Amino acid sequence: MTPAIDAHVRVDTHPTHPSAVQAVLTGTQARVALMALEAADWSVAATNVLVLARIDHEEPYWAADAAKHLTAEGITVEITPRLQEAIDEEWTWPNYPMPGCARSEIREISNQAQKIHDAIRHGHLLIHAHARDGHTTVAVGTYVHRGGKSVYLHGEDHLRQVADTFDSPAEALMAFESVHAAEMRPGPAPLTDTERAAIAARSVFDVTTATSEPSRPEPETVPVYLADAGDHDALLDSFLDAHGEFEKWRTWSDDTTHAIHESQTLRIERVHEAAAHETAWTVAAYETPVSDRMWVLTATGATPAPVLHNLLIDLADGDGWDTVIDGPVDERIVAAATQPLSDAGWKHTVDGRWIRWTSPDGGVGIQFDAFAAQHPNQNLATWTVWAGPGPDRPTWAITASPHTPSSLLAGLSESLADEIGTRQAHPASCERRTNLASSPPAIPAVGTGLDAVRTR
C-alpha cells in the first residue's frame, strides 16, 4: 500500500482563463506534489500555487490525469465541482479540419501540437524562420539536443504538426526558402491570441498588498555616465516604433527580444530580466545574412538609458556598422575612436597591454586591450567602457570586439565626454550603486542567440 504523503492539492478552474486550471498546495510535504506537477508542465504562479495553461484547451482532461497520478502517489487531491463539470463535459472543435477523427484521436493530435509548443517555449526547439502560407503559418526549426533533427512545421496552435524532417539546419533552411522565399521572416512567428492567453494565465499571481510609494525628490542632473539606467524595455520599444527598418520578435519564453535590420546583417538582442551587472544587450553585425560575425558589442543591465539611446541612434543612422575592417586594429583606428576623449582632457595612461582613458573625476573610463586586438576571430573584449571604481569592478560596462567600427566607438566616447543625464537623488539609488560596485565584471557573450536566428 502506498504510504500517505502530507500534501493536499485542491484543483480548480483558473480565475480568469476560460480553460486553464489552477492547483493550490498545502501540507508539510507540499513540495512533493509541486515537483510532480512541474514535471507534468504545470507552471508556478505563486507560493504553492501552480497553473496548467495549454494551447489545445484540454486542461481539464490533463488536470484529471494529473490528479490520478498524484492520488496513486499517496497525495490527497480535491477536485472542485466546477472543474469536475468541465472534466465531464463532452465537446469538440467546431469545423475541425480532420473529419472522421474520434475525440481521443483529436486529443492526441492536439497533444502532439502542445509538445511542439512546449519544446519551443522551453528553448528545446529553435525556430530559424517562419512564413505565412495561405491562411496559416509555417516555420522551420531545429531541436537543440545532441543529434537533434531539423523540422518543417505547418499550422498554428492545436493544429501545428511536423510536416517534414531534415538532417541539418542548412538543409531545412534551403528547402524552406525554396518554397517560402517571398514571405520568409527570421525567427518564430508572432504569438497567436491563444499563446498570449496561455502566457497571461501562467503569469505570477499578485499575492501582495499594494503599498503606496513614498514621494520622490526631483531628479538631479549628473554626467551621463552617472545617470539612472531607466526603463530599457521602453527604450527599445520607442526605438523600434521610430525605425521600421528593424523587425521585432520575442522568444517563446518571453524573456528576450530580438530586433533585426531588414538587411538581416545587424541584430540587437535585449534580455529583459538580466541583472544589473549581467549582459542585457548584445549587438552583432554580419557581412552577409549567413556569414560569421564582423563584430559584437554588449552592455550590462545598469547601463544608463541616455548612453544606450545614443548608441541605438548611431546604429539606426548606419554609422559604419556594415564596414569590414581588414587586418589588426591599428593606431589610426584607436585614435579615431577616442578623439572626443582627448579633446575633453581625459587622462591617458598605458599599463602593459592596456591603454586607458579616464574622465577627470575618475568616474568613467575606456580601456583598449592591445593583446585582444590582435586576435580578431575570438570576439574578445578589445574595448571596455566602465563606470565606477574600475574595469574589474564596474557599476555598468560596455564591451566591444576588435572590429567594432571606430565611428560607433567615437560616438560613444563623445556621449560620455560631453553629455548629461538625470538620476533620482534619494538613498535607495545610492545603495543600489554601492551594491553594483561590488558585482563581478561583465563578460562579453560569445556565440549568443543572435547567431542562431540568422537565415539565408
Indicate whether 83 and 111 sit together in one domain. Answer: no
- 229 and 131 inside one domain: no
The answer on 233 and 150 residing in a single domain is: no
- Residue 175, pLDDT > 90, answer yes
48 and 107 within one domain: no
pLDDT in tens, 5-53: 899 999 999 988 889 999 999 999 999 999 999 999 999 988 899 999 9
Q: In sequence order, what are the residues at sequence separation of 6 or more whose Cβ sits closer than 8 angstroms to the Cβ of residue 390?
A: 365
Question: In this structure, are residues 367 and 341 in contact, taking their beta carbons and an 8 Å threshold?
Answer: no
Classify the C-alpha dihedral 225-228-231-234 as positive or negative. Answer: negative
Secondary structure in 3-state letters for the chain? CCCCCCCEEEEEECCCCCCCEEEEEECCCHHHHHHHHHHCCCEEEECCEEEECCCCCCHHHHHHHHHHHHHHCCCEEEECHHHHHHHHCCCCCCCCCCCCCCHHHHHHHHHHHHHHHHHHHCCCEEEEEEEEECCEEEEEEEECCCCCCEEEEECCHHHCEEEEEECCHHHHHHHHHHHHCCCCEECCCCCCHHHHHHHHHHCCCCCCCCCCCCCCCCCEEEEHHHCCCCCHHHHHHHHHHHCCCEEEEECCCCCEEEEEECCCCEEEEEECCCCCCCEEEEEEEECCCCCCEEEEEEEECCCCHHHHHHHHHHHHCCCCCCCCCCCCCCHHHHHHHHHHHHHCCCEEEEECCEEEEECCCCCEEEEEEHHHHCCHHHCCCCEEEEECCECCECCEEEEECCCCCHHHHHHHHHHHHHCEEEECCCHHHHHHHHHHHCCCCCCCCCCCHHHHCCCC
Is the CB of residue 388 less than 8 Å from the CB of residue 380? no
Q: What pLDDT does residue 449 have?
A: 55
- Quote the pLDDT of residue 297: 94
Q: How far apart are CA 92 and CA 86, in angstroms?
A: 13
Strands 266-271 and 150-154: unpaired
Q: Which residue has the higher pLDDT, 283 or 219?
A: 283
Residue pair 83/60 in contact (Cβ under 8 Å)? The answer is: yes
Q: 192-199, long-range: CB within 8 Å, 24+ apart, which pairs?
A: 192/55, 192/156, 192/157, 194/55, 194/157, 194/158, 195/55, 195/117, 195/157, 195/252, 197/17, 197/53, 198/17, 198/20, 198/53, 198/54, 198/55, 199/53, 199/254
Name the pLDDT band for 283 (thresholds 50, 70, 90). very high
CA 58 to CA 183: how far, in whole Å?
32
Structural domain contains residue 95: no
Q: Which of 302, 369, 281 is nearest to 329 (CA)?
A: 369
Which residue's C-alpha cell is 574595448?
383
Of 161, 196, 231, which residue sits at a domain end? 196
Q: Residue 116 sits in which domain range?
A: 103-196
What confidence tier does 450 reach under pLDDT thresholds 50, 70, 90?
Answer: low
Q: Per the domain annotation, does 378 fall within a domain?
A: yes
Whether 327 shows a pLDDT value over 70: the answer reads no
In angstroms, the Cα distances linking 209 to 24, 205, 206, 212 are 19, 12, 8, 10
| Residues 350-377: tens digit of each pLDDT | 988 999 999 998 889 999 998 888 876 6
Residues 183 and 331 in one domain: no
Boundary residue ending a domain (38, 61, 88) = 88
Q: Residue 213: inside a domain, yes or no?
A: no
What is the average per-residue pLDDT within 200-216?
54
Q: Are residues 183 and 306 in the same domain?
A: no
In a domain, 211, yes or no: no
The answer to the question of residue 202 being in a domain is no
Question: What does the pLDDT average to over 201-222?
Answer: 59
Structural domain count, the chain: 3
Residues 112 and 76 in one domain: no
Query: Are the C-beta atoms of 228 and 429 separated by less than 8 Å?
Result: yes
**Residues 257 and 369 placed together within one structural domain of the fold:** yes
- Which of 12, 62, 18 lies closest to 201, judged by CA? 18
- Are residues 429 and 296 located together in one domain of the fold? yes
Range of lowest pLDDT (77-86, 205-214, 392-401, 402-411): 205-214
The verdict on 364 and 447 lying in the same domain is: yes
- Within a domain: 214: no
Residues 109 and 53 in one domain: no
User: 231-253 burial by CB neighbour count: b if 16+ within 10 A, else e?
Assistant: ebeebbeebbeebeebebbbbbe
The pLDDT value given to residue 207 = 40
Tell me whether residue 433 is in a domain: yes
Nearest C-alpha neighbor of 188 from the set 424, 456, 455: 455
pLDDT band for position 291 (50/70/90)? confident
pLDDT greater than 60 at residue 431 = no
The model's pLDDT over 110-150, given as tens digits with 9 standing for 90+, comes to 999 999 999 998 889 999 999 999 889 999 999 987 578 99
**Chosen domain end from 88, 112, 131:** 88
pLDDT computed for residue 429 by the predictor = 36
Indicate whether 312 and 419 sit together in one domain. Answer: yes
Query: So what's the pLDDT on residue 427?
Result: 38
Q: Indicate whether 54 belongs to any domain.
A: yes
